[in-house]
Amino acid sequence: MYIYNVTSNVEESIHEQWLVWIKDHIPQVLSTGKFKTATLTRVLVEEDMGGVTYSVQYRATSREALDDYLRDHAGILREDVVKRFGDKVLSFRTELQIVDEYTVNFK
């Protein structure tokens, strides 16, 4: 399993607008058929640069699916955020491979 993580720092001035947008954007990414699930999280550490930081973790079932997304879809979907928000959103992307997962069952 692979995770495509997108971390974005969002300026306060457009935070609410961006949050509405990302909640619509995530289903668009999932509709490519390249990811199984997505999780939107807020980063709780305050940034020196200000703003609010979020992470979206998209889970792909294979490296091929992730590569297909990056090749065929990522560029077009990234353009949308740039058109809408310009430099008020700074994002970086990380590709991760899950090595092992652990769970605890509480009674």
Query: Is residue 8 a contact partner of residue 91, using CB atoms and an 8 Å limit?
Result: yes
Beta-strand relationship, 37-42 and 89-97: unpaired
pLDDT of residue 20: 97
DSSP 43: -
**Structural element, H or E, at residue 33:** none
- Considering the domain 2-97 in this protein, what is its CATH number? 3.30.70.100
Read off the pTM. Answer: 0.90
Alpha carbon 8 to chain centroid, angstroms: 8
Q: pLDDT digit string (tens) for 1-25?
A: 999 999 999 999 999 999 999 999 9
Tell me the two tokens of residue 51. 């703003």
**Residue 43 confidence class, pLDDT cut points 50, 70, 90:** very high
pLDDT the model gives residue 35: 97
pLDDT digits (tens, 9 = 90+) for 68-92: 999 999 998 888 899 999 999 999 9
pLDDT of residue 49: 75
